[in-house]
């Protein structure tokens, strides 16, 4: 759907909005902010007028309470319904089959990104094999054929305009995978694999932050998200593939 205005432009505070589902969220966020600003202003106005105006016998009519209350109830209900719609769009359904598969793994204090490679299947991993020093930070099992062509990177590189299906997990403690420019946030919980999907739109380099306190390096646990035009992405992927299976 399209909007009368590009919300982000009205709210220069927000980082630019580079995902397909982003504008809808910004729009709704903006609506909310206007609503509560209005409510807060109105409430304070009523308060101040009430304080300065001459004394009057007290109000006793129930209308003073219940009419505004129903109005507020309707307002909040309206916001809830809109929000739930967007949430359902974003989260209720899984990614489409054609989506690009990437595995995101958090550990103190780095993000690792794993592409399934040419066979489009992730190889088996074993905690015992994990050894960042030896270049196997995720513990990919060498005996597993699927694992051979998997490539692991420390920056997330994605093609524009193609849906991505991220499977998030963590090795040690809970981390928070957050990409402000994509309006995306989801905790990576050890022992769970959580899927989130989105479609990057605008090519560029964006920040990936950790938003769940995970230790003394929490503040510097970040990575870059590079969104490339499809052809450049293909080139990059091919180059990478060479490095693992010449």
Residues of the shown chain interacting with ligand HEA in the complex, contacts defined by CB under 6 A: 39, 42-43, 68, 72
CB of 211: closest distance to other proteins in angstroms? 4
Q: Residue 35: name the closest of 77, 6, 66, 89 by CA.
A: 77
- Torsion angle defined by CA atoms of residues 174, 21, 17 and 235, in that order, rounded to the nearest 10 degrees: 80
Residue 180 partner contact from other proteins, ligand HEA, ligand CUA, none using kind-dependent CB cut-offs of 5 to 8 Å: other proteins
Of the pair 4, 50, the CB lying nearest other proteins is at: 50
CB of 219: closest distance to ligand HEA in angstroms? 9
Tell me the C-alpha to C-alpha distance, in Å, between residue 166 and each of 41, 51, 101, 108.
42, 55, 6, 19
Tell me the C-alpha to C-alpha distance, in Å, between residue 41 and each of 10, 45, 50, 53, 242.
20, 6, 14, 18, 61
Q: Please select the residue that binds other proteins; options are 88, 120, 234, 235, rule is CB under 8 A.
A: 88
Structure tokens at 94: 């899984």
Contact characters 160-199, ligand CUA, x per CB under 6 A: ---------------x------------------------
Does 241 contact other proteins by CB under 8 A?
no
CB of 210: closest distance to other proteins in angstroms? 8
CB of 159: closest distance to ligand CUA in angstroms? 26
Of the pair 91, 162, the CB lying nearest other proteins is at: 91
Residue 106 partner contact from ligand HEA, ligand CUA, other proteins, none using kind-dependent CB cut-offs of 5 to 8 Å: ligand CUA
Structure tokens at 229: 């035009």
Structure tokens at 69: 């209350």
Residue 112 partner contact from ligand HEA, ligand CUA, other proteins, none using kind-dependent CB cut-offs of 5 to 8 Å: none
Of 67-75, 98-106, 112-120, 237-245, the segment contacting other proteins by CB under 8 A is 67-75
DSSP 8-class letter at 128: G
Does 137 contact ligand CUA by CB under 6 A?
no
Q: Tokens 């909007």, residue?
A: 3
The sheet with strand 194-198 has its strands ordered as 151-153, 110-115, 100-107, 164-170, 194-198
What does 164-213 look like in DSSP terms, one character per residue? EEEEEEESSS-EEEEEGGGTEEEEE-TT--EEEEE-B-S-EEEEEEE-S-
Cα separation of 32 and 76, whole Å? 10
CB of 198: closest distance to other proteins in angstroms? 11
The H or E element containing residue 226 is: strand 223-228
Residue 203 partner contact from other proteins, ligand CUA, ligand HEA, none using kind-dependent CB cut-offs of 5 to 8 Å: none
Tell me which residues touch ligand CUA (CB under 6 A): 106, 109, 175, 210, 212-214, 218, 221
């Amino acid at each position: 759907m399209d909007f009368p205005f590009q919300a982000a432009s009205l709210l220069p505070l927000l980082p630019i909005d580079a995902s397909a589902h982003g504008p809808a969220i910004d729009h709704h966020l903006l609506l909310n902010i206007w609503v509560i600003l209005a409510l807060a202003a109105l409430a304070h106005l009523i308060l101040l007028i009430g304080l300065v105006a001459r004394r009057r016998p007290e109000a006793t009519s129930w209308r003073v309470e219940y009419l505004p209350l129903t109005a507020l109830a309707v307002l909040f209900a309206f916001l809830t319904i809109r929000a739930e719609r967007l949430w359902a769009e974003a989260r209720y359904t899984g990614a489409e089959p054609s989506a690009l598969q990437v595995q995101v793994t958090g550990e103190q204090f780095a993000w690792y990104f794993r592409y399934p490679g040419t066979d489009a299947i992730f190889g088996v991993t074993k905690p015992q094999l994990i050894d960042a020093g030896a270049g196997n930070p995720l513990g990919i099992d060498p005996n597993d054929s699927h694992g051979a062509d998997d490539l692991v990177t420390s920056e997330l590189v994605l093609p524009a305009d193609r849906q991505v299906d991220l499977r998030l997990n963590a090795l040690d403690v809970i981390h928070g995978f957050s990409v402000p420019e994509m309006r995306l946030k989801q905790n990576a919980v050890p022992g769970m694999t959580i899927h989130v999907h989105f479609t990057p739109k605008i090519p560029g380099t964006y920040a990936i932050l950790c938003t769940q306190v995970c230790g003394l390096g929490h503040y510097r646990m970040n990575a870059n998200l590079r969104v490339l035009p499809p052809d450049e992405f293909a080139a990059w992927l091919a180059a990478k593939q060479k490095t693992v299976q010449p």
